[in-house]
Amino acid sequence: MNRIYIALTVILWASAYVAIRISLKGYSPFELALFRYIIASITMGILAPIVGIRIPDRKDLFYIILTGIANSSWRFPKLSKKEHLTKRSQLNDHNKTSY
């Protein structure tokens, strides 16, 4: 059973970059980051009680929220923006060579 979870994790993780590249055709980097967090929040809200993850102590919530904001406000929009710039660069290179 662990191998199935590992394989599923690898497949989903690897497909994230492809999904970002495709999604940037219709959404901004900020919107993609927002969608990812909405999906993750809903998923965790459903799965956490099922697998027995407890709610953190109230005194730890500040640090958990601060860490989440610091991590996600930099990483995901930057990744999406980089994919967007890469695609734009590829299009510009293609237009230059097609003449």
* Residue spans per domain, the chain: 2-97
User: Which DSSP string do the residues of the chain spell out, in sequence order?
Assistant: -HHHHHHHHHHHHHHHHHHHHHHTTTS-HHHHHHHHHHHHHHHHHHHHHHHTPPPPPHHHHHHHHHHHHHHHHHHHHHHHHHHHHHHHHHHHHHHHHT-
What is the reported pTM?
Answer: 0.51
User: What's the pLDDT at 19?
Assistant: 83
pLDDT digits (tens, 9 = 90+) for 42-78: 999 999 999 998 888 999 989 988 887 777 666 666 6
pLDDT at 83: 60
